[in-house]
Structure 1
Amino acid sequence: MLINKNTKIIGERVILVPYRKEHVLKYNSWMQSKELQELTASEPLTLNQEYEMQHSWMLDNDKCTFIILDKEKYEETQNEVAAMIGDTNLFFLNNEDGPLAVVAEAEIMIAEEWARRKGCGWEAMVFLLKYGIDKLQVKQYTVKISANNAISIHMFEKMGFIQTAFTQVFQEVTMEKLVDDQFKQFIKENTKHHLVIEDGEEVVQF
């Protein structure tokens, strides 16, 4: 999505950056993992297909994607690729009125095992949810999670998501959350003292 092509979100544990061409090789290597394919309900792509996907996602108004960097690793290396640990996405489900949506499906993947269970997924997800509310006018979120991904299910339950469906064939749980005042306050409390940098210059409290 072009709206976030120059956006960087900086937190205590993670940094979110747009998915760019230089990230594709490492991302494609992640997605050869059978474990990640199962957890994300994804099929592996060739490297050329992944480059095409990255380019289309950058331009597509129905998708908003950020690569997740480990902040400590990035500060140590000053290299985004070396610091990559996963990605997080919004897929807009009703886009009749243009690029801003009402309902968005959220996804997150922490691909690097060493970066799991450190709070990186939680922080990256609340950043994305707030970005969707503030910048993209999202009014309701939905997530679809593999039934055996207990960690992700528990994380979204802690965020207030409620299970609304279970697909036996795909062994997949659907959870939803309305963006009401209580949820906005929850997100605000969990995104204190973080920054959004737009176009490399403007810095605002997040």
Structure 2
Amino acid sequence: MLINKFTTITGKDVILVPYRKEHVEKYHKWMQSEELQRLTASLPLTLEEEYQMQESWMRDENKCTFIVMDKHLYEKNHDEIEAMIGDTNLFFANDIDRMVAEAEIMIAETNARGKHRGWQAMLLMLLYGITYLHVQQYVVKISIDNVISIKMFENMGFIQTSISNVFQEVTMNKIVDDTWIGWLKENVGNFQIINENEF
């Protein structure tokens, strides 16, 4: 969506930046992985289709996407592509108020897993959604066999609401309240959101 086109979110170990054209080629390589296709319930796209997807997502007011970068890698040489480790998304249902968002996190680089990069990036995205997009409830849909992600969202306070054997996924929910917002801020630590609204 255009609201985050010039937004950068910096945390302790990760930086979130808008998904731009220069990120597409590496993202496309990630999504050739059968493991990532399975975990994200995605179909492989051609590179041209991936570029079209990036452009449409940037303009779609029901989709908010950030690329996740490893902050320490980025600070070494300021190369966003080299520092890319995954992405995080919010999807809104087609309701007028857009109060409910489906959240996603993917750490594609295997050497970045198990280092709390996904945890931190997701907390930052949840806070961004609450603060700037006025989200009042979050939903996550996770593959049944993705035990690590299920556990992570449980630790974030999400509650399992259903299991689909047809789609082989677990649905979890979290209502936003002041206590949880305080917990998010406490657990994410120091962070900064910079909006350079030039459009």
Report the TM-score when normalising by structure 1: 0.93
**Which blocks of at least 5 consecutive residues in structure 2 are unaligned?**
none
2:93 is aligned to: 93
Question: Could you give the per-residue CA deviations for residues 47-87 of structure 1, whole angstroms, max 9, x where no partner exists?
Answer: 00000000000000000000000111111121100100000
DSSP-derived class of the 2:188 partner: coil
How many percent of aligned residue pairs carry the same amino acid? 63
Q: How do residues 1-206 of structure 1 correspond to structure 2 at under 5 angstroms?
A: 1-97=1-97, 101-199=98-196
Alignment check: 8 A CA contact 1:62 1:95 kept:
no
- Please give the alpha-carbon distance, in whole angstroms, between the structure 2 residues aligned to 1:109 and 1:117: 12
**How far off its partner does 1:200 sit?**
8.5
Alignment check: 8 A CA contact 1:77 1:83 kept:
no
**How far off its partner does 1:152 sit?**
0.4
DSSP-derived class of the 1:170 partner: coil
Alignment check: 8 A CA contact 1:91 1:106 kept:
yes
DSSP-derived class of the 1:190 partner: helix
Question: Could you give the per-residue CA deviations for residues 105-159 of structure 1, whole angstroms, max 9, x where no partner exists?
Answer: 0000000000000010000000000000000000000000001101100000000
**Which blocks of at least 5 consecutive residues in structure 1 are unaligned?**
202-206
**Greater relative contact order (Cα < 8 A, sep 6+):** 2
Question: Could you give the per-residue CA deviations for residues 13-62 of structure 1, whole angstroms, max 9, x where no partner exists?
Answer: 10000000000000000000000000000000000000000000000000
Number of equivalences:
198
Report the TM-score when normalising by structure 2: 0.97
- Please give the alpha-carbon distance, in whole angstroms, between the structure 2 residues aligned to 1:119 and 1:171: 26
Q: Which 4+ runs in 1 deviate beyond 3 A?
A: none
Q: Residue 30 of structure 2 aligns to which amino acid in structure 1? A: W
DSSP-derived class of the 1:148 partner: coil
Q: Residue 74 of structure 1 aligns to which amino acid in structure 2? A: Y
